[in-house]
Amino acid sequence: MEMEVAITVVLPPLAHGGAFVKGVAVTKHAETLVRRFPHMSELFHVLPPTDLAAHSLSEADFFNEQAFAPGGAAKNIDIACMATTRPEDNLPTLVEALHILRLRHPERPLRAVCVSGDNPHAIHTLLGSSADVLRFLPAGPNVLPTLRAAKVFAHAGPSGKHGHVLEAMSCDVPVASLSAPIARAAGAVAATPDAEGLAQAIWHTLVNRRAFQPRTTVLLHSGRQHTLNTLIDAIPYYAAHLPGYEKGAHAYNRWIDAALTGLYASHLYTFLFHHAPPGIAFRGEEAIGMMLQAQKSCA
């Protein structure tokens, strides 16, 4: 039976002009995969999530900031959220906060939309009639259009970095959070970790939304370009082996771009942001093994 393992390639192994440079890959299954594929360490620096945390990064930081960009959509959703019925998503608290706002500001009906991977029966079982403050949409193709159309993104889930929160900020949508830390330039955190506190944070963020700079703020510390630069800076190997090494500017490295062009007929920009070869995300032993086999020609 194939192991349920996954890996994210931040930088593929590259060869050009007689030079070879190892790639960077991130996976929760680092030890397992290196044992399963002994030659993997010849091709990649394989980093577990703990190595990312040492540099104030998480796997959530490697979101595609070019895909999650504002896009110029009409702002016809007051409040957007992404949540499931799992307890950690705390959907009942968010719904209670929206009911508080409905009662407190009857003159301002709020259009609130929740994109959820759960089926309507599961949502109704959890929330009952209180769910009427939200319009629920299925996940998948609705994520990006909903974020782009939102004035505020509300998050009642766990603290720590969360992918949808970062994606919302990348779409230049300010965030109102129950407990997850949000930079003051990007939104607001509830003063108290309850529905009342969240309601106040949502309202404050909504009425002051034009004062925030969420996209500028999040891209200082997150996104694919930032992650690439941070990890290459953090690994001493690259200062010694990467042609054209310039600290903090690896997304513009001409040698990397030339190597990608020669090996895969793509560029660093299209590799990072447009799914160009050799690919970023691989799931399952078979797919990872095939990827490593294809990369052997570089070494």
Closest by Cα among 147, 162, 181 to 89? 162
**pLDDT of amino acid 72:** 85
Chain centroid to CA 59: how far?
7
- Spatial distance between the Cα atoms of 127 and 113, rounded to a whole number of angstroms: 15
- Spatial distance between the Cα atoms of 207 and 132, rounded to a whole number of angstroms: 23
**pLDDT of amino acid 1:** 44
**pLDDT of amino acid 2:** 52
Q: Rounded to two decimals, what is the model's pTM?
A: 0.92
Domain 77-218 class in CATH = alpha beta
18: left (phi over 0), alpha (psi -120 to 50) or beta: left
**pLDDT of amino acid 3:** 53
- Spatial distance between the Cα atoms of 207 and 276, rounded to a whole number of angstroms: 41
Within 16-119, residue ranges assigned H as helices are: 30-36, 40-43, 49-53, 91-104
Which regions of the chain carry the CATH code 3.40.50.2000?
A: 77-218
Q: What is the pairing mode between strands 6-11 and 281-283?
A: antiparallel
Per-residue exposure over 103-129, b if at least 16 CB sit within 10 Å of its own CB, e if not:
eeeeeeebebbbbbebeeeebeebbee
Q: Are 45 and 235 spatial neighbours (Cβ–Cβ below 8 Å)?
A: yes
**pLDDT of amino acid 188:** 98
Q: Are 75 and 149 spatial neighbours (Cβ–Cβ below 8 Å)?
A: yes
3-class secondary structure, 68: coil
Closest by Cα among 143, 141, 193 to 170? 143
- Spatial distance between the Cα atoms of 171 and 212, rounded to a whole number of angstroms: 12
Low-confidence ranges of the chain (pLDDT < 70): 1-3, 297-299
Report how far apart, in Å, the C-alpha atoms of 73 and of each of 146, 172, 173, 204 are.
Answer: 9, 11, 12, 23
Q: For residue 28, what are the contacts with CB-CB under 8 A and spacing of at least 6?
A: 6, 48, 49, 59
Per-residue exposure over 165-197, b if at least 16 CB sit within 10 Å of its own CB, e if not:
bbbbbbbbbbbbbbbbebbeebbbbbeeeebeb
In the block, residue with structure tokens 């399963």: 36
Q: For residue 53, what are the contacts with CB-CB under 8 A and spacing of at least 6?
A: none
**pLDDT of amino acid 11:** 96
What residues are paired with 20 via a beta bridge? 15
Closest by Cα among 165, 154, 170 to 202? 154
In the block, residue with structure tokens 């994210």: 8
- Spatial distance between the Cα atoms of 3 and 69, rounded to a whole number of angstroms: 34
